[in-house]
């Protein structure tokens, strides 16, 4: 019998990025992956032993083969040099990066020492060398804001996961905008708990266009007596009406089964911030964080994942 949990296969050399591989790095995790020209680029979350702020930061990792990555030496998103109040923002990690019309737009959840947190800031880059901050686009508490890669009926769309603070459960919402800054027409899309592995929390990543609909890789949280466990699954949205869910995986795609996923800064975590679709070779490349400590890779058939959503297995 078919099950979604059998589709993705972990890279045998996992993790592809470990803290001990890079000078001064305490943790490296939760990558947002994109293809840039012929290279694979990851916006990785980093904890740096030498940071004077004691907060996380985002760095750029680049690879020619998708396996061996070179890590940038400096933070890519530098908010300290920005205008107030942006210079007071902290902990820019867990990015969601989406290419729209040849430009890479990045939504980053950040915090503030006084105001509620986290909330999303929008930035962009065309070369992963220079980051341009645009504006705040989501209110707290909000993590995981993920842009669709193209307009739908003349509007930009995005997914959010507001709430989930103070032990409350968070729901995925969808909204639209004429310009990526002013957002409205908010609609609830999916609540946690449609299956046991996501009964506490749920969250989105940037949608991937397929001929059957928008594929959205999600994370789900289940809290048994032993403590929280993070899983990875997927849903499908209608191409022309993304407010409509047309499929969901019943089983998860990945569970925290390996040693590098079960033990780290946050035990029992596999966490996605996006995936890369290779349409020609029918491969979905899922880079994900393992236990908030390392970067890992799993691959599988894109068509099989879509079918798993549409047929509910």
Q: Delineate the domains of the chain, giving CATH numbers in brackets.
A: 4-311 (2.115.10.20)
Task: Please list, in sequence order, all residues whose beta carbon lies within 8 angstroms of the beta carbon of residue 26, skipping any fewer than 6 positions away.
Answer: 19, 47, 48, 49
* pLDDT tens-digit series, residues 285-303: 999 999 999 999 999 999 9
Per-residue pLDDT reduced to its tens digit, 36-87: 999 999 999 999 999 887 889 999 999 999 999 999 999 999 887 777 677 7
Q: Is the pLDDT of residue 177 over 80?
A: yes
pLDDT tens-digit profile of 106-159?
999 998 877 767 999 999 999 999 999 999 999 888 889 999 999 999 999 999
């Amino acid at each position: 019998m078919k099950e979604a949990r059998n589709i993705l296969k972990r890279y045998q050399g996992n993790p592809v990025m470990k803290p001990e591989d890079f000078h001064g790095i305490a943790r490296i995790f939760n990558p947002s992956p994109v293809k840039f020209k012929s290279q694979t680029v990851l916006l990785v979350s980093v904890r740096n032993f030498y940071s004077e702020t004691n907060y996380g930061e985002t760095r750029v990792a680049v690879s020619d083969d998708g396996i061996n990555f070179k890590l940038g030496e400096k933070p890519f998103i530098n908010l300290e040099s920005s205008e107030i109040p942006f210079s007071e923002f902290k902990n820019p990690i867990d990015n969601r990066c989406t290419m729209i019309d040849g430009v890479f737009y990045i939504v980053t959840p950040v915090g503030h020492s006084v105001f509620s947190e986290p909330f999303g800031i929008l930035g962009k880059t065309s070369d992963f060398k220079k980051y341009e901050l645009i504006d705040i686009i989501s209110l707290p508490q909000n993590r995981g804001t993920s842009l669709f890669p193209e307009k739908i009926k003349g509007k930009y769309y995005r997914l959010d996961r507001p709430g989930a603070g103070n032990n409350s459960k968070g729901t995925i919402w969808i909204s639209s905008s004429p310009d990526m800054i002013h957002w409205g027409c908010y609609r609830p899309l999916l609540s946690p708990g449609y299956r046991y592995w996501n009964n506490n929390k749920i969250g989105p990543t940037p949608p991937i266009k397929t001929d059957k609909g928008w594929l959205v890789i999600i994370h789900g949280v289940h809290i048994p007596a032993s403590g929280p466990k993070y899983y990875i699954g997927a849903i499908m949205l209608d191409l022309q009406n993304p407010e409509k869910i047309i499929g969901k995986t019943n089983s998860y795609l990945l569970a925290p089964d390996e040693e590098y996923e079960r033990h780290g800064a946050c035990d029992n975590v596999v966490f996605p911030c996006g995936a890369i679709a290779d349409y020609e070779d029918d491969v979905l490349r899922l880079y994900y964080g393992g236990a908030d400590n390392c970067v890992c890779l799993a691959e599988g058939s894109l068509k099989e994942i879509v079918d798993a959503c549409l047929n509910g297995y």
